Amino acid sequence: MTSGPSLWSSILSEAEKRVRKQQFNTWFPNIGFLNLENNTLHLQVPNSFVRDWLQAHYAQVLKDSARTVTGGNIQIEFCLRELDDTPGILAEAPGDSVTSSQQTDAEPAASRAAQATIEPVKSGMRLHVQYTFENFIVGPSNNLAHAAALAVAEEPSHAYNPLFMHGSVGLGKTHLIQAIAHALMSRAPKPKVLYMSCESFMNEFISAVRHGDIENFRLRFRQLDALLVDDIHFLGKGDRTQEEFFHTFNALYNDQKQIVLTSDSPPKEIPAIKERLVSRFKWGLVTRISPPGYEMRVAIIQKKAQLKGKLFPEDSVHYIAEQVSGNIREIEGALLKVISYAGLVNRSITLGLTQDALSDMIDREKTTISIEDIQNAVIRHFKIKLSDLQIKRRSKAVAYPRQVAMYLARKLTNHSLEAIGGYFGGRDHTTVLHACNKIEKNLAHDSLLSSTIEKLTEELSKNTGKR
């Protein structure tokens, strides 16, 4: 039996027969051969994202290929390259520290080949070290956006192009778009990838116009393999910038280059955006990220605490998840407040300490009614489950309580129609508006409905005042 590089070359050739060409070119050049020992094939990969993806999607392909070549039952073990455990360019989020690694001539050529650099554009943002797929918590509120982002990372310009992700602030849009950038940077050969904020794009364009450098600006942007723009809703602020982005979009799309955009609003609701841009934003996949439910908030808190190297007891985790029902940034803010408070008073994190640390935050929140308060009141009254309010089923036994809950959410909270829809299985604003109008219309002649709304409103107001 052959050994070493020739053995690995044979296994690769066999694997190439078993997967599509695009998949092979995306993932398999990232793998380096270490050795075959005790029927275990030890392989080297550039980072944990590549390792996890290969383990989940291609480990069996490699096992089968190795068995064909060697005639034995071969196990696969992926090892991280020490120099490449984190991607080479890291991005910065407000208030967070960033880390970056500099490539040197001494760095192994195989390691450099497994990394892809972001094409430099002045004042473009860098990627945050923790905004990777492996650190993203997946749940009912974001599973479609997560799956689409993974597909784009694996097959850019072939899966969804453009990919447009939208949702309220602090729900993970920036995390997902940067995770795509991290993944694309792990590909070989190196693509030209640029991640930046919409504000940075606008500033770059204004600077190019001011200095008469517009042709160079266009050349830099239109030769990219992938353009990822965060907060594209800010594009509505400038007509000339919209015009330039329109032509940049067309150039990249016609060349089959990947475009990924995030926004606080769906394309048709971005203020002052031109219709021809709206239509292009909808050419690929438009997907919403909704507010996290209780179970997902628990998972987020546990993951964030783990990343910060802190041990939170289970009762503290559940207390934060119950009391802080806003977006992920608010949850992380509460977590950091508890960690800082524990350090200041030199005490371990307990439920009591958590309650003390968050007392002012919780007291402020308890003066208002949350959508989750409304959902809990409705499921108690109608004797249904929370999942009944979120699933797509339209039976009257489920649809009626859901419409009541949506009506109360619009009446008793300051959430937008879109935000309310996010709490009810990711429904769009038109569904929420229809539910509210239907309840409003029936209140005039349905005494039972009127009594139900009055009773639930009184219960919510009373319980909020007591907390």
pLDDT tens for each residue of the chain, 467 residues long = 455 678 888 899 999 888 877 677 777 887 888 888 888 998 988 766 677 778 878 889 999 998 998 888 989 998 876 433 333 222 333 333 333 333 333 333 333 333 333 333 333 457 888 899 988 888 877 888 999 999 999 889 888 999 999 987 788 899 999 999 999 988 877 788 999 999 889 988 998 898 888 888 898 898 899 999 999 988 877 788 999 999 999 999 999 999 999 998 888 888 788 999 999 999 999 998 887 877 888 888 998 888 888 889 898 898 888 888 667 888 888 898 999 998 888 898 999 899 888 887 765 555 578 888 899 999 999 999 888 887 776 778 889 999 999 999 988 887 878 778 888 877 878 888 999 999 988 887 888 898 899 889 888 877 665 54
Q: What is the pLDDT of residue 326?
A: 65
Q: Do 77 and 128 fall within a single domain?
A: no
Q: Do 361 and 380 fall within a single domain?
A: no
CA distance 315 to 372: 19
The domain that contains 376 carries what CATH number? 1.10.1750.10
Q: Do 300 and 280 fall within a single domain?
A: no
The domain that contains 284 carries what CATH number? 3.40.50.300
Q: Do 78 and 117 fall within a single domain?
A: no
Q: Do 121 and 79 fall within a single domain?
A: no
Angle between helix 214-222 and helix 239-254 axes, rounded to 10 deg: 40
Residue 97 lies in a domain: no
Number of domains within the chain:
4
Residue 101 lies in a domain: no
Q: What is the pLDDT of residue 115?
A: 35
Residue 100 lies in a domain: no
CA distance 428 to 420: 9
Q: Do 281 and 330 fall within a single domain?
A: no
- Is the pTM higher than 0.75? no
Q: What is the pLDDT of residue 87?
A: 32
Final residue before a domain boundary, out of 323, 350, 365: 365
Domain span including residue 300: 294-365
Q: Do 276 and 202 fall within a single domain?
A: yes
Residue 104 lies in a domain: no
* Closest listed residue to residue 260, CA positions, set 327, 197, 334, 321: 197
Q: Do 20 and 113 fall within a single domain?
A: no
Final residue before a domain boundary, out of 68, 84, 100: 84
The domain that contains 361 carries what CATH number? 1.10.8.60
Final residue before a domain boundary, out of 228, 259, 288: 288
What does 278-322 look like in DSSP terms, one character per residue? HHHHTSSEEEE-PPP-HHHHHHHHHHHHHHTT----HHHHHHHHH
* Closest listed residue to residue 180, CA positions, set 288, 261, 277: 261
* Closest listed residue to residue 156, CA positions, set 226, 86, 81: 226
3-state secondary structure of 226: strand
Residue 201 lies in a domain: yes
List b or e across 270-307, with b for residues whose CB sees 16 or more CB atoms inside 10 angstroms.
Answer: beebbeebeebbeebbbbbbbbbbeebbbbbbeebbee
Q: Do 272 and 164 fall within a single domain?
A: yes
Q: Do 154 and 248 fall within a single domain?
A: yes
Residue pair 76/31 in contact (Cβ under 8 Å)? The answer is: no
Residue 132 lies in a domain: yes
Residue 386 lies in a domain: yes
Q: Say if strands 193-197 and 226-230 run parallel, antiparallel, or are unpaired.
A: parallel
3-state helix, strand, coil in the chain (%, to 5): 55, 10, 35
Q: CA 11, 225, 175: angle at the middle one, nearest 5?
A: 90
Residue 92 lies in a domain: no
Q: Do 346 and 378 fall within a single domain?
A: no
